[in-house]
Structure 1
Amino acid sequence: MVVASSFALAACGADSEESQATSSAPASSAPVEQQSATPRLALSYDGGILVLDAQSLQQVADIPADGFIRLHSADNGRHVFVSETGGFRVLDMGTWTRQHGDHGHHYTASPTMTDMRFGGEEPGHVVPHDSRITLFTDGTGEVDIAEPAELLRGNAKSSEYTVPEPHHGVAVARGDGSLVVTSGNEEARAGIVILDKDREEIARNDQCPGVHGEAAAAQGVLTFGCEDGMLIVRGNEIQKVPSPDSYGRIGNQAGSEETPVVLGDYKTDKDAELERPNRFTLTDTRTGQLRVVPFPASYSFRSIERGPNGSAVILGTDGALHVYDPVTATETRKIDVIRAWTEPDEWQTAMPNVHVQDGIAFVADPTAKSVIAVDLVTGEKQAQAELPRSTIELTGVTG
């Protein structure tokens, strides 16, 4: 139940093109018009997905799902991609805005799993960027590129490309029709390739061992992590930025359109089965300056996010949210949220994680079976709710 007061989020609807149509996917209840946009959260657990109202943290739905699943926001205000054994399915979160002239009409309905599907065996990364959503399937090497507006119409139409060899990779489609995609195979990953709209090679960099993860910064600049640094993609130019350590792995990154600085993790023990890092990186994509910043605790790959004005947000194993200025790397706020915790040995195991939406950080704590909402500007806890299950992953939509 909710144990703190609910709060108002400054939620925004989808843009005019995307929000002119409501999804034709079936819903289990008739739409109800609301006074304002209704943001919602999705939290996965072993056997399903909980959907919560992001303002009150009250449960809206409990949707069954088989196997270990992962969640990825479509960044269109309404949908979440669910990674299942056989590909990506689209979850309609049942909240959307329809633009009508100079104003919008806001609606809610019951969340439902749609029939829209993408990819195949071993679905991997999902990247919303430049009004496109790029889905990479590790097991087959398929790259699906969908448009958010088509999802809102209930249409699973996508363009496709298949990499030469399947691998655990990622791809990013850009507004000019080009595609940036990782290169490698099941044994090793070497770097990235830029392909034009006809999928002819424009540029390549093979100096990024273990390439993993991506982020987008201001001005549409992209980054990809390496075991010894980072690749920065500006247009069709690729710059390799080395780590200060011979093995300095940046495997997970978080970007923001409000700043050229990308937040990344940082690991230096090549032989560790699980390294619990106590440093992170801030990389200026304009200059290529990579800064390694000490951190007062450890954190996991589910711990890094971006906050208001592009601030860097990290959920530490000390149970606190740490907020950093991305330019100066100084800590501007520390907010105690949950009890101290330890990252589990298996990455699939439930652990605390954070999702930021409209300046509010939502922290899910599987041990306490709770979710807490924190205003990152004021540092105040806005709401807290008990959950019926221990949750694993967390994302949200704005409505």
Structure 2
Amino acid sequence: MTRRHLRYAAPAALLGIALLATGCSSSAANDSAADTSPANDSSEEHAHSDEQRVAVSYEGGVAVLDAETLELVDEFDSEEFTRLNAAGDGRHVFVTTSEGFQLLDTAEPTLTDLVVPASAAGHVVRHAGKTVLFDDGNGETTVFDTHDLAHAEGELPEAVTHTAEHAHHGVSIELEDGTLVTTLGDETSRSGAIALHAHDDHWDEVASSDQCPGIHGEGTAADEAVVFGCENGALLYQDGEFTKLDAPDTYGRMGNAYVSETSPIVVGDYKSDPDAEGYLLGSVALIDTAAQQLNVVDLPENVRFTYRDVTRGADDLAYILSTDGSIHVLDPETGDLVDEFPVIDAWEGPAEWQDAHPAIIGSGGDTAYVTEPATNSVHAVDLRTGDITASVELDHTPNEFAVALGEH
């Protein structure tokens, strides 16, 4: 396995080609997981902008909002369907397009011509000062130093790459000691993960596991415990070893991990019926990485959500935006719902996973942002009180969004 250093040049401006459906659904789900680790303010962030920003995608474009007031700062033309992932440097957001990962500078703001080429741009993970991209089309992982991305002016910084044996819908993360943990699979199936350590110009295997069918999603909890979702539970990597955590059901799929790096407990979406129609879910998996245990909590009938509707926030609690229009507050330690904040009107699940539907994302502090496509609105919500502190009605229907905050 060859370890390469690449330097990217700025390509020509992107063509307006509609992005093919290469993303994830809740049955081949989008992983907010790579996007949901709370991130605190960083000095890097303030070195570039006195104001935090929120990026919102809509059909044919991307809007940049002021994170405090939600006032529109600027908007840019893009493709019909794009996905957004924070780069973790407090300034940039990666816009996944048919050309690859395009860098949106929210501080300027400008949709730059800087693109990491990818045949099927997939997950973006931020951890330990690294920003890691995965190309589903060829199985290539690209690792940037997050600090270097923050200073990208005219060209992308040098990157380290790893290419999987087979292309697949995957995800990678680099740990603090330089270990690269990446998924295993091919075009027809996915089976597990492998941990690799860089040695000169190649990668040496540290550990591997093939006990995670349909592996999807990634999240890193306290003490750098990495969790991946499986179709029959979860796969834990910690201290150089993989441990399989079995689901209580024969089919028990976790596809997305919602994490806080100060909590040992991972909250995962959970599905026990492989034949269930639609994308609404009614259960969560609670994975205690310290005790190496997985438990399933069935939510009340009025609490239904999709992969876009869970985030972590204040006091390491989990916040579930339900179809009843309320944010339901879950204590991961007990599995109990401890509060409820009505924020938007009731809504129905999407017909297709890409369809615009309400979503929630945390800011890394006491604020979360909620989209309400039915009114073309975005709201800022105080997670301690449930108060809506700011709202904006856009000229377009909001779909996905990302907060341009730095990582821990």
TM interval, shorter chain, is 0.7 to 0.9
The offset of 1:235, in angstroms, is 2.1
The offset of 1:274, in angstroms, is 2.9
The offset of 1:340, in angstroms, is 1.1
In the aligned structure 2, how far is the partner of 1:180 from the partner of 1:350? 32
Which residue number in structure 2 is paired with residue 354 of structure 1?
Answer: 360
Q: 2:56 aligns with which of 36, 40, 43?
A: 43
Q: 1:321 aligns with which of 327, 330, 333?
A: 327
Letter in 1 for 2:374: T
Which residue number in structure 2 is paired with residue 75 of structure 1?
Answer: 88
Q: Would you say the 8 A contact 2:381–2:389 is kept in 1?
A: yes
Call closer, same or farther: CA 1:220–1:166 in 2, change over 3 Å.
same
In the aligned structure 2, how far is the partner of 1:377 from the partner of 1:19? 24
Moved runs in structure 1, 4+ residues, more than 4 A? 18-22
- 1:3-152 aligned at under 5 Å gives the runs 13-15=41-43, 18=44, 37-94=50-107, 110-152=108-150
Q: 1:262 aligns with which of 251, 260, 266?
A: 266
Call closer, same or farther: CA 1:304–1:13 in 2, change over 3 Å.
closer
In the aligned structure 2, how far is the partner of 1:265 from the partner of 1:153? 36
The offset of 1:362, in angstroms, is 0.8
Range with greater deviation from structure 2 (148-157 or 191-200)? 148-157
Q: Determine if the alignment matches structure 1 residue 184 to structure 2 residue 190.
A: no
Q: Would you say the 8 A contact 1:38–1:398 is kept in 2?
A: no
The offset of 1:13, in angstroms, is 4.5
Q: Would you say the 8 A contact 1:321–1:334 is kept in 2?
A: yes
CA deviation vs aligned residue, 1:82-122 (integer Å, no higher than 9, x gap)? 1011210111101xxxxxxxxxxxxxxx3101232224111
Range with greater deviation from structure 2 (148-157 or 352-361)? 148-157
Range with greater deviation from structure 2 (153-162 or 46-55)? 153-162
In the aligned structure 2, how far is the partner of 1:275 from the partner of 1:396? 24
Call closer, same or farther: CA 1:20–1:371 in 2, change over 3 Å.
closer
TM-score (normalizing by structure 1): 0.87
In the aligned structure 2, how far is the partner of 1:115 from the partner of 1:151? 14
Letter in 2 for 1:89: Q
Q: Determine if the alignment matches structure 1 residue 376 to structure 2 residue 363.
A: no
The offset of 1:276, in angstroms, is 2.2
The offset of 1:273, in angstroms, is 4.7
In the aligned structure 2, how far is the partner of 1:173 from the partner of 1:276? 32
Which residue number in structure 2 is paired with residue 103 of structure 1?
Answer: none
Q: Would you say the 8 A contact 2:369–2:380 is kept in 1?
A: yes
Partner-residue secondary structure (3-state), 2:148: helix
The offset of 1:380, in angstroms, is 1.5
CA deviation vs aligned residue, 1:211-244 (integer Å, no higher than 9, x gap)? 0000010111100000000011112111100000
Range with greater deviation from structure 2 (382-391 or 245-254)? 382-391
Partner-residue secondary structure (3-state), 2:332: coil
Call closer, same or farther: CA 1:320–1:164 in 2, change over 3 Å.
same
Which residue number in structure 2 is paired with residue 308 of structure 1?
Answer: 314
In the aligned structure 2, how far is the partner of 1:166 from the partner of 1:186? 6
- Structure 1's unaligned 5+ residue stretches are 1-10, 23-33, 95-109
Q: Would you say the 8 A contact 2:139–2:165 is kept in 1?
A: yes
Call closer, same or farther: CA 1:45–1:260 in 2, change over 3 Å.
same
In the aligned structure 1, how far is the partner of 2:145 from the partner of 2:112? 16
Q: Determine if the alignment matches structure 1 residue 332 to structure 2 residue 332.
A: no
Q: Determine if the alignment matches structure 1 residue 171 to structure 2 residue 172.
A: yes
- 1:148-227 aligned at under 5 Å gives the runs 148-154=146-152, 155-198=156-199, 199-227=203-231
Partner-residue secondary structure (3-state), 1:301: coil
Q: Would you say the 8 A contact 2:45–2:405 is kept in 1?
A: no
Call closer, same or farther: CA 1:275–1:369 in 2, change over 3 Å.
closer
In the aligned structure 2, how far is the partner of 1:60 from the partner of 1:179? 37
Which residue number in structure 1 is paired with residue 10 of structure 2?
Answer: none
In the aligned structure 1, how far is the partner of 2:349 from the partner of 2:128? 34
In the aligned structure 2, how far is the partner of 1:339 from the partner of 1:206? 43
Q: Would you say the 8 A contact 2:221–2:266 is kept in 1?
A: yes
TM-align CA RMSD = 1.7
TM-score (normalizing by structure 2): 0.85
- Structure 2's unaligned 5+ residue stretches are 1-38
Q: 1:278 aligns with which of 270, 277, 282?
A: 282
What count of residue pairs does the alignment treat as equivalent? Answer: 359
Q: Would you say the 8 A contact 1:217–1:262 is kept in 2?
A: yes
Partner-residue secondary structure (3-state), 1:136: strand
Partner-residue secondary structure (3-state), 1:219: helix
Call closer, same or farther: CA 1:20–1:331 in 2, change over 3 Å.
closer
In the aligned structure 2, how far is the partner of 1:343 from the partner of 1:376? 24
Letter in 2 for 1:359: D
Which residue number in structure 2 is paired with residue 6 of structure 1?
Answer: none
The offset of 1:271, in angstroms, is 2.5
Range with greater deviation from structure 2 (111-120 or 161-170)? 111-120
In the aligned structure 2, how far is the partner of 1:76 from the partner of 1:165? 30
Letter in 2 for 1:377: R
Letter in 1 for 2:321: L
Where relative contact order (Cα < 8 A, 6+ residues apart) is larger, the structure is 2
Letter in 2 for 1:347: W
Q: Would you say the 8 A contact 1:278–1:298 is kept in 2?
A: yes
Partner-residue secondary structure (3-state), 2:396: coil
Which residue number in structure 1 is paired with residue 243 of structure 2?
Answer: 239
CA deviation vs aligned residue, 1:52-94 (integer Å, no higher than 9, x gap)? 1111111001111123210001121111011011210111101
